[in-house]
Structure 1
Amino acid sequence: MSTVIPNHISSMSAGRLADALGAPTLEASSRASGSPLYAHLASELRRLVETGVLSSGTRLPAERALSASLGVSRVTVASAYRDLRDAGLLRSQQGAGTFVAPTARESWGSLSRHNGSGVLEFVNASPSASPLLHEAYLHAVERVRDRLPDSGYAPGGSVELKESVAAYYTRRGLPTSTSNILITCGASDAAHAILDTLIEPGGRVLVEHPTYPGVVDAVASTGGRCIPVSVDPDDPDGFVAAADLAARQSAPTLAYFMPDFSNPSGTRLPVDSRRRLSATMHRHGVLTVVDEVSADLGLDDSPALEPFGVATPARATITLGSTSKTVWGGIRVGWVRAEPSMIDRIASTYARRQLSASILDQTVAALLLDHYDEVCGARSQSLRAARDHLAASVREMLPDWSFRLPAGGLSLWCRLPTDLRSTDLVAAAHARGVLLAPGPRFGLGHAFDDHQRIPFTRALADITDAVAVLADITAAQSLSVDSAPRRPSVVV
C-alpha cells in the first residue's frame, strides 16, 4: 500500500521518544504487565499516538536508532512498529520512513458530504425545524417589509435581535445590554471570530476531551494548538482538577468549554463545579470561551443553572450561542456575549469575514427568542422521546454497548465492545447507507476509536433502522473475530 507523505513533516528523535516512553523502566514495566516486551512497547507507542504526543504525520525514528536509545533489540522495535502498522496507527514507505497515520478527522472525507436518497444521515446532531418556525417566518416577512428600502445590512446585528439576546441573558441572571452582544452567522462564525481575534500561531487552548470537532478545526485554522482535558460525566470535580493542572503545565491563552450538555459526552457541570472552574481559569489568567449552543436542551426537567462565569469578573468569560439546535440549523444566527471592549475587538475581526447576517433570519430569531420558553419546551419534548427510543433500541439490539443516559443534549456517547473500532464500524455502516461520524473525530490524535456517537435528532423509525444496521455489523464483526486465527495483540 502506498503512503501519502505529508507536506509538512515533523519528526521525533530517538532520544526524545525514548524519554517519552520511559526508557529506564520499559523492561520492568513489561515484566510487571506480563506482556512481551515488543507488545508493551507497542502499547506505550499507541498511548502516545492516542493522546496526541505523537501527532498525525510525525516521522518516527528509525528502528536501529530507537532500539539503541531504548536499550532493546532492533527486532523488538520492528515488531512493535509492525503491530501498530497492522492496527492502522502507523504507515511506512520505502526510503521515507515510518509515520503516524492520518486520523479519522483527516481521512473521513466524503462521509459528511454524502447525503443521497435512501441514506440515513447521523453525522450531524441537528434536529428538524421547530414547529413554531413557519409562523415566525410569516410574521418576519411582514416586519421586513418596512426595511426593504434600506441596504439590508446590519453590521454587528440588528438592534431588535441584540435586544432580544440581551434580554435572554438578563432573564438567566446575567445582566446584559446590547453593547455586550455581537450577532454572527451561526455559532461556528462566532467561534472563528473569537479565536481569530485572540489566538496567535502556537497559542494553546484547553478543550474538553472528547469535544466538539469544530473547536479543534477552528483552533488549528488559527495556527493554535489544543490541549486536551479529559471529561467524565460522572466526575465533574475531576474535570476541574484536571483543567487546573493543564493550565499550570501548558500556559494556555484560552479555554474552550461546553459546561451544559457537552457535545458529545452530554456532561453538565453543577453550579459549584462551574464556579470553581471559572475561578480557576481566571486565577491562571486564562480567558474562558463558553459554548452554550446546547445550554437550553435539558431533557429531564433539569433545573436551569446560572450561566458560566457569573461569579467571576466579566472580563474572564466570553460566551457564544445560537438558535441552531433549539430552532433550526437552517437559520444561520448566532451571537457572542462579552465586555463591550472585547465585543469591539471581535467585531472588527468578524467584519473581515462577514458583513451581516440575514435580516430576515435575524427578525425570525428575535421573534422566537421572545417566546423562547415555548420553543425550548417543544424541542425538549421531542428530543426526550427520541433519546429514550434510541437508548431502548441500543439496549435491545446492542447489549454489549454501554452508555450513560444524558440529561440533555443531542446524542448518546457509546463505549464499544472490545475488538470493535469506530472507524471500522463507520466504514461498514457507510456501505449500508448509514452515515456516522467516527469516534476519533471528537478527540485529538487517535483517541476515542472505542466510542461511537449516535445523535437522537432523527425520526424514531430512522433511529430504529440505523441501530439495526449497527447491530448487524457488530454481529458480523463478532463472528469474524471469533473465527479468525489469533496472534499476539497489543495490550491497551
Structure 2
Amino acid sequence: MPISGSTAAGIVESIRDLVDRGVLTGGDRLPPVRGLADTLGVNRNTVQSAYRQLVTAGVAVSRRGAGTTVAGVPGTVTEGAARGPGIGSPGTLVDIGHGNPDATFLPDPATVRLSPAPPPLYGTSATHPELGRVALRLLGPDLADRAEDAVISVTAGAVDAIERLLATVTVTGDAVALEDPCFLSSGTTTRLAGYRVFPVPVDGEGMQVQPLRDALAAGARAVVCTPRAHNPTGVSLTPGRACALREVLKEHPGVLVVEDDQFAGLSRSRYETVIPAGHPRWALVRSMSKSLGPDLRTALVASDPETAERLSRRINGGTTWVSHLLQRTVAAMLSDGAVRSQLSRASAHYASRNRVFLGKLAEAGLSSPSVDGLNIWVDLGVPSTAATRELRSAGWIVRDGALFRAGGPSAAGRGAGVAGAGGGGAEETCVRLTVHELDDAEMDRLVADLAVVAGRCL
C-alpha cells in the first residue's frame, strides 16, 4: 500500500489522496500503527496521530480489536416508506413503519386567505414579521422568563434547524449528546457532520440524568432533547425528570441546549423544559411537519439573541431564507379557527387510536412506554432485526429499533433505557410502529403477529 509521509499531516494527506483516487475504498483496513511506522521510519505516535485525524474527519473508522479501516459512504435512513424486498407487491405488505401523520387530518393550505404583500427582495428580513408575531404568541407562554429576550428564526424544518444550530457551536470531532434511541434524522445528521455522539439513554420519564451528567463531563458541547412525544419511543418528560435535567445543565452554561418539540401542535402532554433559567445558550424548535404537513418545510425556532445571530449567519450562507410565501401561509394557517379545530381533531385521533392499540398490546402481554405522538415503541424481547424480517413475512413493514440508536445501528443495545436491550452489548429488541391508520380488526391481526414473533400465545 503506497502510503507516504514523514509527519502526521503528510500521512493524512497521503491516505486521503488514496481514498479520493479509489485505491483505498470503504472497508479496506489500514496498516497496523507499528508496521506503518516502521515502513515510513517515523514514531508510532505520528501514525497514531494521523489515524486519529482521519477518524475525526470521517475518512476512517477505528474499532477496538479491529484496527482502523477506511470509512464507506454513510447510509441514510429517513422517515417515510420503509423500502425493502417485497415492497413492490401491492396489497401484500402493510407499511406501519413510515412515521407519517395521517394525510386526511392535514389542513389544506389553499383554504386560508393571504393578505396582499409586496414581493420580498434580497436583503429582506429572513423571518416574515407576520409569522414572527404568531410564533411569539404561540411560544411565549412556554418560554416564560426567556420570552422577553427570545428571537424567532424560521428554518426549513426541524432537522435543518438542528443541523444549523449544532454548527453554531461545534466543529468536526466535537461531541454532541443525543437521546438514545433518537430521531432517525438527528442521528444521521450528527454522524454525517462528523460529530462524536454521546448517547444518553431514555427511559419512561425521558432522558436519563446520570448519563447526561457523564456526557457533559466528557466534553459534550451541545445537547438535543425531546421534551414530549419522543420519536421513536413516545415518551414525554415528567416534571421531576425535567427539573433534575435542568439542575445538571445549570452547571454547564457554555453548552447549547436544543429542545426538539416536534409534536407541539398535536401533543397531549404538557411541555416540560430542560433549559435552566438564565441559561445563555438555548433553542426551542417547533416543526410544522406533523401538524400542518411535511411539505411546508417550516420550523419555528426561538433562541437567545447570540444563538439567533449565529443561526442567521448559517441560514444566510445556505438557503438564505425560507420562502416568505410559505411563512405567510403557515402564519395564516396557525391563525385560522378552522385549521385549529382540525388540529384538535387530529390530536384526538392519534391519541385515541394509539390508546386502543396499547390496550390490545397489554392484553397480549406486550409492553410499550409510549404515551404521546404518532408512533408506538414495542419491546418484543427478541432481536429486533430478526423480528422485523419475521413481521415482513407476516405482511407488516415495521421499523427496526436498531436504526434509532444514537451511535448508529451497530451501537444497538449499548444503553440501558426503554430499549429492550438493557445494555451490555446485547441486541436491540424493540420495534417502532405507526398504527393510527389501522382499524380495530387490523390492529388485532398485528398484535397477534407481534405476539407470535415475541414467542407468546394468545
* Fold shared, TM-score > 0.5 on shorter chain: yes
Q: Which of 366, 376, 383 is residue 412 of structure 1 equivalent to?
A: 376
Q: Please say if 1:120 is aligned against 2:94.
A: yes
Is 1:164 matched up with 2:167? no
Query: Which residue does 2:166 correspond to in 1?
Result: 195
Q: Which residue of 2 aligns with 1:82?
A: none
Quick one: which of 279, 299, 305 aligns to 1:340? 305
Q: Which residue of 1 aligns with 2:199?
A: 228
Aligned-partner Cα distance in 2 for 1:335–1:107 = 24
- Per the TM alignment, residue 425 of structure 1 is displaced from its structure 2 partner at its CA by 2.4
3-state DSSP class of the match of 1:227?
A: strand
User: What is the CA distance between 1:200 and its match in structure 2?
Assistant: 0.7
- Secondary structure of the corresponding residue to residue 295 of structure 2: coil
Say whether the 8 Å CA contact 1:415–1:452 is kept in structure 2.
Answer: yes
Residue of structure 2 equivalent to 1:289:
258
Task: Determine the structure 2 residue equivalent to 1:204.
Answer: 175
User: Could you say what secondary structure the match of 2:284 adopts?
Assistant: strand
Q: Is it true that 1:455 corresponds to 2:434 in the alignment? A: yes
- Structure with the bigger RCO (C-alpha within 8 Å, sep 6+) is 1
1:356 matched to 2:321? The reply is yes
Cα distance in 2, alignment partners of residues 286 and 199 from structure 1: 10
Distance 2:124 2:104 in 1: 25
TM-score, normalization by structure 1: 0.67
Q: 1:315 aligns with which of 273, 280, 301?
A: 280
- Which residue in the other structure is 1:280 paired with? 248
Distance in 2 (CA, whole Å) between partners of 1:325 and 1:108 is 15
Structure 2 equivalent of residue 6 of structure 1: 26
Distance 2:456 2:228 in 1: 36
Contact kept, 8 Å, 1:155 with 1:355, in 2: the verdict is no
Considering fraction of residues, name the structure with more helix.
Answer: 1
1:255 Cα deviation (Å)? 0.8
Secondary structure in 1 matching 2:158: helix
CA contact 2:177–2:223 (8 Å) conserved in 1: yes
* CA apart distance, 1:12: 9.8
**Alignment equivalent of 1:244, drawn from 192, 213, 229:** 213
Separation of aligned partners in 2, 1:357 and 1:316:
23
- 1:60 Cα shift? 5.7
8 Å CA contact retained: 1:233, 1:266? no
1:351-404 residue CA offsets vs partner (Å, 9 max, x unmatched):
2331332434322321232358645422221011210232234345xx353223
**Runs (5+) with no aligned partner, structure 1:** 15-55, 63-96, 480-492
Which residue, 380, 383, 387 being the options, matches 1:425? Answer: 387
1:104-154 Cα offsets, whole Å, 9 max, x none, are 9779999735675445332332212474712x5222xx416x347555996
Distance 1:276 1:296, change over 3 A: farther
TM-score (norm 2): 0.71
The aligned residue for residue 401 of structure 2 is 439
The Cα offsets for residues 286-330 of structure 1, whole Å up to 9 and x where unpaired, read as 22111111245444xx5x345442x42152321111111222223
**Distance in 2 between the 1:165 and 1:281 partners?**
26
What residue in structure 2 maps to residue 133 of structure 1? 107
TM-aligned CA deviation for residue 270 of structure 1: 2.6
Residues 194 and 346 in structure 1, CA contact (< 8 A), matched pair in contact too? yes
More displaced stretch, 431-440 vs 203-212: 431-440
Q: Is the 8 A contact 1:184 1:335 kept in 2?
A: yes
SS of 1:380's equivalent in the other structure is helix
Task: Assess, with a 3 A threshold, how the Cα gap between structure 1 residues 433 and 403 changes in structure 2: closer, same or farther.
Answer: same
How far apart, CA to CA, are the structure 1 residues paired with 2:30 and 2:284?
35
1:60-87 deviation per Cα after TM superposition (whole angstroms, max 9, x unaligned): 648xxxxxxxxxxxxxxxxxxxxxxxxx
Distance of aligned partners of 1:413 and 1:107 in 2 relative to their CA distance in 1, 3 Å threshold:
closer
Q: Which amino acid aligns with 2:259?
A: V
In 1, Cα distance between the equivalents of 2:107 and 2:80?
A: 31
Tell me the percent identity: 20
Is 2:369 the counterpart of 1:379?
Answer: no
SS at match of 2:135: helix
User: CA 1:344/1:98 → structure 2, altered by over 3 Å: closer, same or farther?
Assistant: closer
Letter in 2 for 1:426: T
RMSD of aligned alpha carbons: 4.0
Structure 1 residues 261, 289: CA separation in 2 closer, same or farther (over 3 Å shift)? Answer: same
Separation in 2, partners of 1:263, 1:168: 22
